[in-house]
């Protein structure tokens, strides 16, 4: 069995050796014999679990910087959706490869995606070596014939999951309550229950306009509407959840719903800033962190996302002790991994070998009074030196094999897409 030994790496402020056998962390101790296939020098480095990006649209790297400074709905209707209609399999494949490259280089080893052309996304993830739960974006725009197409497509994708490795999991991806009918949402929920409790991922309560339209169209706020439909369950993960009141937080908690905070896109699209992270956690709701897609957050750097989540939460509450660095690191690692169903997110014997070595020989870690504080508040993704996922080295000395080709190919593909 292939083994990796990481020598003298800092864990919780103390040097340790970490032995990886296959894809599992086998032993953690002060001195371990180096009778292994690969030895990594961990001196002047700290080890952290691989980060988990819980809300992405990976191939939207193709739209980075294309449609900035716009409100959400005009941004979608005038810029994003018309160009997404032109996407080919190869466009999505290369856009996802660039996303995976960016995530690897900033320490992310797993992500939860929602996008079009599922096979192209899965192909890129397989090649890049990280983990993903992939959901195909589902729309029917309240048209029965489109709903039937969405059902058929979902059945086809689910039936084909045997072609992929265990690093890839399947989820259902109804886009939002304003693009997916209640009947299709209920069909998705039933499909989920009947097929191994397949996870469901949806955008919800993202903007004030969405809330107002939900009340006008359905008679309920978004969370209450899903509750009325019977959709709230432990199988559901909602992205954003900016506009929820105390009663809705209790609903989400009682039904076991999970929530993903996306601070960068919420701020950039001016969707809202008062995400109730602390209130949700106090109620018992699992809350993770995501970046959203590069068209609305512009990067996939989870270290930056942790900082934004913490500072945003402190700022609107006017409370400097709210949302600590430690809470943010937990949300970006163990919480997210648990929500995806991977035994990862901790540097501990028996856990999946998904981890990163952080370069301590950088200004952000000098002085290093508090490593987690420096990681969250002072550093960014460029501090990551080495990434291991599923027991395989994906990046070493800040280099990922083939990264130049990925950047060049994807840049050209993005220009070609816009010219079409």
CA atoms of 311 and 317, how far apart (whole Å): 10
Residue 281, in any domain of the structure: yes
Q: How confident is the model at residue 418 (pLDDT cuts 50, 70, 90)?
A: confident
How confident is the model at residue 245, as a pLDDT? 98
Which residues, including other chains, have CB under 8 Å from residue 199's CB and lie 6 or more apart?
Answer: 133, 135, 169, 171, 172, 192, 235, 236, 237, 341
Query: Which run of H or of E encompasses 148?
Result: helix 144-159
Residue 178, in any domain of the structure: yes
Its domain, for residue 167, covers 51-340
Residue 330, in any domain of the structure: yes
> Residue 73 above 90 pLDDT?
no
Q: How confident is the model at residue 230 (pLDDT cuts 50, 70, 90)?
A: very high
Continuous H helices in 181-289: 182-194, 208-218, 222-229, 246-255, 263-268, 277-283
403-62-124 Cα angle (round to 5) = 50
Q: Which DSSP string do the residues of 295-336 spell out, in sequence order?
A: TTTS---HHHHHHHHHHHHHHHHT-TTSS-HHHHHHIIIIIH
CA atoms of 306 and 331, how far apart (whole Å): 8
Rg (CA), the chain: 21
Residue 24, in any domain of the structure: no
Helix, strand, coil in percent for the chain, rounding step 5: 45, 25, 35
Q: Which DSSP string do the residues of 160-182 spell out, in sequence order?
A: TGGGS-TTEEEEEEE--TTTS-H
Continuous H helices in 331-402: 336-340, 371-373
> Residue 81 above 90 pLDDT?
no
Sheet holding 200-204, edge to edge: 51-56, 108-115, 131-138, 168-174, 200-204, 236-240, 258-261, 287-289
- State the CATH number of the domain containing residue 325: 3.20.20.140
> Residue 275 above 90 pLDDT?
yes
How confident is the model at residue 419, as a pLDDT? 84
| Two tokens, residue 115 | 């996008």
Residue 276, in any domain of the structure: yes
User: Measuring CA to CA, which residue among 189, 159, 152 is closest to residue 172?
Assistant: 189
Q: How confident is the model at residue 420 (pLDDT cuts 50, 70, 90)?
A: confident
Q: Mind listing the pLDDT tens digit for each residue in 108-128?
A: 999 999 999 999 999 999 999
Burial of 202 (0-12, 13-18, 19+ CB in 10 A): buried
Residues found in the chain: 420
CA atoms of 416 and 411, how far apart (whole Å): 9
Residue 231, in any domain of the structure: yes
CA atoms of 282 and 285, how far apart (whole Å): 7
Q: Mind listing the pLDDT tens digit for each residue in 291-325?
A: 999 999 999 999 999 999 999 999 999 999 999 99
Whether the ω angle into residue 367 lies within 30 degrees of 0, i.e. cis, is yes
User: Measuring CA to CA, which residue among 278, 236, 248, 247 is closest to residue 261?
Assistant: 278
Residue 365, in any domain of the structure: no
> Residue 201 above 90 pLDDT?
yes
How confident is the model at residue 158, as a pLDDT? 97
Query: In the predicted model, what is the mean pLDDT of residues 167-192?
Result: 98
How many structural domains is the chain composed of? 1
How confident is the model at residue 221, as a pLDDT? 98
> Residue 80 above 90 pLDDT?
no
CA atoms of 76 and 84, how far apart (whole Å): 10
Q: Mind listing the pLDDT tens digit for each residue in 42-53?
A: 999 999 999 999
| Two tokens, residue 293 | 């897609």
Residue 288, in any domain of the structure: yes
How confident is the model at residue 28, as a pLDDT? 98
Query: In the predicted model, what is the mean pLDDT of residues 151-169?
Result: 97
């Amino acid at each position: 069995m292939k083994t990796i030994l990481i020598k003298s790496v800092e864990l919780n402020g103390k040097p340790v050796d970490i032995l990886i056998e296959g894809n599992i962390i086998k032993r953690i101790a002060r001195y371990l014999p180096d009778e292994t296939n690969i030895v990594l020098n961990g001196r002047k480095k700290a080890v952290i679990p691989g980060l988990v990006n819980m809300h992405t649209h990976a191939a939207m790297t193709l739209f980075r910087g294309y449609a900035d400074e716009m409100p959400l709905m005009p941004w979608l209707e005038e810029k994003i959706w018309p160009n997404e209609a032109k996407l080919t399999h190869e466009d999505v494949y290369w856009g996802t490869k660039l996303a995976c490259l960016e995530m690897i280089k900033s320490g992310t080893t797993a992500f939860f995606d929602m996008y079009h052309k599922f096979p192209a996304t899965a192909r890129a993830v397989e090649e890049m070596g990280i983990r993903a739960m992939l959901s195909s974006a589902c729309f029917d725009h309240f048209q029965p014939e489109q709903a039937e197409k969405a059902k058929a497509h979902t059945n086809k994708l689910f039936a084909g999951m045997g072609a992929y490795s265990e690093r890839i999991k399947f989820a259902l991806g109804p886009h939002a309550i304003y693009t997916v009918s209640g009947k299709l949402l209920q069909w998705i929920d039933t499909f989920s229950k009947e097929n191994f409790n397949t996870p469901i991922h949806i955008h919800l309560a993202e903007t004030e306009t969405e809330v107002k339209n939900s009340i006008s169209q359905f008679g309920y706020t978004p969370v209450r509407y899903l509750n009325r439909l019977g959709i709230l369950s432990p199988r559901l993960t909602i992205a954003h959840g900016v506009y929820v009141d105390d009663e809705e937080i209790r609903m989400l908690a009682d039904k076991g719903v999970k929530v993903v905070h996306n601070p960068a896109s919420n701020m950039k699209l001016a969707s809202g800033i008062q995400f109730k992270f602390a209130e949700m956690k106090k109620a018992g709701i699992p809350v993770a962190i995501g970046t959203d897609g590069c068209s609305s957050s512009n990067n996939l750097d989870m270290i930056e996302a942790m900082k934004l989540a913490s500072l945003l939460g402190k700022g609107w509450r006017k409370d400097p002790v709210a949302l600590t660095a430690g809470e943010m690191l937990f949300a970006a690692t163990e919480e997210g991994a648990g929500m995806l169903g991977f035994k990862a997110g901790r540097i501990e014997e028996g856990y999946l070998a998904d981890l990163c070595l952080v370069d301590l020989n950088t200004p952000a870690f000098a002085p290093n009074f508090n490593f987690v504080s420096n990681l969250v508040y002072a550093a960014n993704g460029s501090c990551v030196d080495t990434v291991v996922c599923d027991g395989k080295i994906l990046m070493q000395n800040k280099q990922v094999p083939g990264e130049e080709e990925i950047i060049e190919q994807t840049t050209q593909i993005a220009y070609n897409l816009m010219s079409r």
